């Protein structure tokens, strides 16, 4: 990771940057949505935020990304809302002794869906069927593992009940394809390339959550919300699949210059069509979604954009 370059940027009277910054965007693995979305955001920043360029960096995703923001080793990061909230409040390792109180949001940008995938002939048809099975719960330091553990624990399944494997998205897909695991969790904006590629070579099944399982998960994690994966989202998926979703948050350090935060937020929303062209998850990148689902305070630069655009920022989201 490149060191953070938060040296204050001077802006001329017309709002143009007087010095260039090379920004680092912490994303996730290449088989998920964070990396392509972050790449699209990097291109958008380089094109529309004068005096700035950006690069999407491959990381272990949400937990690692919050640590990078805390240490000011990344300028922007994408992370799951539950991880962001827990890191901000110091209720999750490794942040229990040092909460990331300096984290600020620019926006919630799209929802992740928890997708539990198995092969069609595995005999696994429900969450309860995972007991005794080899299950990938996501890469170490990822929001996927945080979500997987929350869903399992809320429904009476612990790591003692499964043979947990900590694999990233591409590794999970490969392990399913090769028969090395029985099922895997993805917490990612659907559709995602690693599941699409798996479905192109193997018959897959997405595991539905029952209303009771969803209710228990939401009770455990208030940032969870019911979500339905549409029929046909992947090859061979012939029915809608009830599951849960979690917002993804674009996070910065409070030390970011206010004008820079304002310009990034403004241009992200005003040129969102460029992000949609990179990944359909960006269809949910709207001010309304951001204002209704962001779990920590906004950066002052983001607040300025929302208010100038005519939106009301809830008091709890003001820094």
Those residues with Cβ within 8 angstroms of residue 149's Cβ, 6 or more apart along the chain or in another chain: 137, 159
Mean pLDDT of 164-168: 97
Q: What pLDDT is recorded for position 172? A: 98
- Give the Cα separation of 58 and 141 in Å (integer): 13
Per-residue pLDDT tens over the stretch 111-129: 989 999 999 999 999 999 9
pTM assigned to the model: 0.77
Check if the beta carbon of residue 259 is closer than 8 Å to that of residue 6.
Answer: no
Residues 6+ apart with CB under 8 A from 15: 259, 263
The reported pLDDT for the residue numbered 225 is: 85
Give the pLDDT score at 167.
97
What integer pLDDT is reported at residue 13 of this predicted model? 31
Give the pLDDT confidence score for residue 15 in this predicted structure: 39
Which pLDDT score is estimated for 142?
87
In this predicted model, what pLDDT tens digit does every residue of 195-229 receive, in sequence order?
Answer: 999 999 999 999 999 999 999 998 988 888 889 99
Whole-angstrom distance, CA of residue 217 vs CA of residue 226:
9
Per-residue pLDDT tens over the stretch 4-15: 433 333 333 333
pLDDT of residue 115: 98
Residue 242 pLDDT exceeds 80: yes
- For the record, the structure tokens of 104 come out as 């600020």
Look at the alpha carbons of 208, 146, 303, 109 in this order and tell me if their dihedral is positive or negative: negative
The domains located in the chain, with CATH, are 21-110+247-317 (3.40.190.10), 112-246 (3.40.190.10)
pLDDT of residue 189: 86
**pLDDT category of residue 294 using cuts at 50, 70 and 90:** very high
Q: What is the pLDDT, as a whole number, of residue 57?
A: 97
Structure tokens at 283: 């269809």
Instruction: For residues 236-250, give the mean pLDDT.
Output: 95
Mean pLDDT over all residues of the chain? 92
d(CA 133, CA 205): 16
């Amino acid at each position: 990771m490149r060191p953070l370059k938060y040296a204050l940027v001077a802006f001329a009277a017309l709002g143009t940057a007087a010095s260039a910054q090379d920004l680092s965007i912490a994303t996730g693995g290449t088989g998920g949505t964070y990396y392509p979305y972050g790449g699209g955001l990097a291109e958008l920043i380089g094109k529309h935020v004068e005096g700035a360029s950006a690069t999407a960096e491959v990381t272990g995703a949400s937990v690692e990304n919050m640590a990078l923001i805390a240490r000011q080793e990344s300028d922007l990061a994408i992370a799951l809302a539950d991880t962001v909230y827990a890191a901000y409040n110091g209720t999750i390792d490794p942040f229990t002794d040092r909460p990331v109180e300096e984290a600020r949001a620019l926006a919630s940008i799209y929802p992740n869906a928890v997708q539990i995938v198995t092969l069609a002939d595995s005999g696994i048809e429900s969450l309860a069927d995972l007991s005794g099975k080899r299950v990938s719960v996501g890469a170490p330091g990822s929001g996927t593992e945080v979500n997987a553990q929350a869903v399992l624990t809320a429904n009476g399944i612990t790591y003692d009940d499964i043979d947990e494997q900590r694999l990233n998205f591409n590794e999970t897909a490969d392990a399913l394809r090769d028969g090395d695991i029985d099922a895997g969790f993805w917490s990612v904006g659907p559709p995602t390339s690693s599941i699409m590629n798996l479905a192109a070579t193997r018959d897959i099944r997405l595991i539905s959550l029952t209303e009771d399982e969803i209710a228990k998960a939401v009770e455990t994690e208030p940032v969870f919300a019911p979500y339905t994966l549409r029929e046909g989202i992947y090859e061979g998926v012939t029915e809608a699949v009830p599951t849960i979703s979690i917002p993804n948050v674009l996070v910065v350090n409070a030390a970011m210059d206010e004008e820079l935060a304002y310009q990034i937020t403004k241009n992200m929303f005003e040129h969102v069509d460029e992000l949609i062209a990179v990944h359909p998850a960006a269809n949910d990148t709207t001010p309304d979604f951001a204002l209704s689902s962001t779990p920590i305070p906004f950066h002052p630069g983001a607040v300025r954009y929302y208010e100038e655009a005519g939106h009301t920022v809830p008091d709890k989201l003001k820094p």
